[in-house]
Amino acid sequence: MTTTPSPFLIAKGKNDIFLLPKMANRHGLIAGATGTGKTVTLRVLAEQFSKIGVPIFMADVKGDLSGLPFPGGEN
């Protein structure tokens, strides 16, 4: 029996925003002005997808994601 992963909390506020993993596409775009939370959002999504077993690849030329805890490995 397969368990459906719980929705990810991706934004807190007056109305919290959740993402259902089964509704996510293979590719995504996070865009916005400086200081609006793009890197934080990317970290949250990467960590949550990784926890449910989705392989994650991110190219980070600025080093903003250097604090993510798990390097890539064998699938």
The Cα–Cα gap between 20 and 8 comes to 6
Res. 75: pLDDT tops 50: no
71 within some domain: no
Res. 3: pLDDT tops 80: no
Range of the domain at 43: 1-63
70 within some domain: no
Q: What is residue 30's predicted lDDT score, i.e. its pLDDT?
A: 86
Where is pLDDT greater, at 36 or 68?
A: 36
The Cα–Cα gap between 5 and 59 comes to 26
Res. 70: pLDDT tops 70: no
Q: 26 phi and psi, to 5 degrees?
A: -70, -30
Where is pLDDT greater, at 74 or 65?
A: 65
The Cα–Cα gap between 1 and 60 comes to 37
Q: How many independent structural domains does the chain possess? A: 1
- pLDDT tens digit string along 11-58? 889 999 999 998 888 788 888 999 998 888 888 888 889 888 888 887
